Structure 1
């Protein structure tokens, strides 16, 4: 479940883009997936560090990353759990797993990677001390089913942590509010669960987890390059004009407004990633 797997190239049909399970995720937002995920990792460094802190990546622990992408986070976990621990990453994308395995070669850390579906994890019940998933559930047809599977492989008393953006909360600083709202809504509706962030707490409680906590983590995208890197915002504006979501004059005005903000160093786009976690009973 590589992060941000929606194929924006299919959004040009007027908004009926890809809404199924991840398939060919070799390109993301029109760029090679590996480069996209690396850039996202830099942007979301604070979020990732908080996930690791809450997951308890300490020596001797068994930890699983579902939707691990190119494996960067698993390698970080492996370095923390050490040779007495276990760090495993799974992803439905075979290319991502191949890249993760290549990156792990020669590192000397106890990381392993498997191609697997979030709905059918190849591990026994209660195997892991903690399980994490970051920016994966937003793409799934059955979020509850996947979370139940994360809970199944977590040992009693272990923790499950799920982090996903709420795409209804992106806020670029632009003048035309109506046009901006229109573009953002259309663009992110190409993701199966664009508002999944606000649902995570309820999903974890429904899966039987106890002590469910939620922490909204702010994301500040400073400059249009950062906004494009994580959300493809410029591409969204352009394609909205191409398919008639916005008329050409509104697209030109919005594009000019972005350029004006960028020229004076003032383009900012704000968002939020929701971290939800809970403890398995036992």
Structure 2
């Protein structure tokens, strides 16, 4: 799995590897804390209408459907038809009513002032001009409606290998290739203000990777750096050896900073 493919997931037709990794990442306790806080701060409750932008295969969408049931409604939109098909399958299995659509966050297929709540997670970092998507979310949100955005500061990716300079070179290369917005939290706060949002609140968590996921991810980005000529074969061997030793001793400590933005549309 390569994170850079999230920039064009509609062109990825084999999604099983992505689903497995996203499910593992979704289980990180600190991420779940941000998601719970997002629900609390946007006042999601029975009867509310909610849009999940970039819903993927519906992990959070199904939770939101339970939260607003029985009188509310949840809609999920994602650019990947394969993810949407999987989301529909999971909703049927869970016997939950969710309206899923294939669509682009920059051109949302909904009328103005449609939803009480709009939320998105790890979507804006993959967009070259995230302001278009943000404006679209604002457009479909009802006046007085609440927005929740969960996004990482991708540059804070780190793992506890001893060679910190090598780690930084590998992570910096991945940051330059995998996402369009390597430091989104700063401009995102200003963008919400520019759109006229009020009651802007920010919460943060440092997410700690599970041992296997952290080892697998950081091993893979070392390979990407080697393929690009950023690190030598010898440095890649050193990198893999260090991570494998950490994993063998259950000492992998990999983390990334995440931010929750909530705001009200005027």
- Same fold at TM > 0.5: yes
Question: What number of residue pairs does the alignment pair up?
Answer: 262
Q: In structure 2, how many angstroms separate the alpha carbons of the residues matched to 1:242 and 1:280?
A: 45
Deviations 1:102-157, CA, capped at 9 Å, x for gaps: 11115333311011111222222111111000001111122001001101111111
User: Structure 1 residues 48 and 169, CA, compared in 2 at 3 Å: closer, same or farther?
Assistant: same
How many angstroms apart in 2 are the aligned matches of 1:115 and 1:243? Answer: 33
**CA displacement at 1:246 relative to structure 2:** 1.0
**More displaced stretch, 189-198 vs 86-95:** 189-198
2:152–2:258 contact (8 Å) kept in structure 1: yes
Contact kept? 1:66, 1:118, Cα under 8 Å: yes
Task: Pick from 94, 99, 121 the counterpart of residue 86 of structure 2.
Answer: 99
TM-score (norm 1): 0.86
Matches of 1:21 and 1:226 in 2, distance apart? Answer: 23
Q: Does 1:239 align with 2:224?
A: yes
Contact kept in structure 1, 2:215 and 2:244, CA below 8 Å: no
Residue from 178, 181, 189 that aligns with 2:165: 178
Q: CA RMSD in A?
A: 2.0
* 1:21 shift after superposition: 4.5
Selected match of 1:193 from 181, 186, 190? 181
Match 2:152 to one of 150, 165, 189: 165
Partner residue of 1:206 out of 186, 194, 219: 194
List runs of 5+ in structure 2 lacking aligned partners.
none
1:136 matched residue in structure 2: 123
Bigger shift: residues 105-114 or 182-191: 105-114
C-alpha distance in 1 between matches for 2:149 and 2:19: 22
Runs of 4+ in structure 1 over 6 Å off: none
Give the TM-score, by structure 2 length.
0.91
What is the DSSP-based 3-state SS (H/G/I as helix, E as strand, rest coil) of the residue aligned with 1:189?
Answer: helix
Residue from 3, 6, 13 that aligns with 2:4? 6
2:203 is aligned, of 215, 233, 236, to 215
Give 1 or 2: higher helix fraction.
Answer: 2
Separation in 2, partners of 1:51, 1:260: 37
Query: How far apart, CA to CA, are the structure 2 residues paired with 1:212 and 1:169?
Result: 23
Contact 1:144 1:207 in 2 (8 A): no
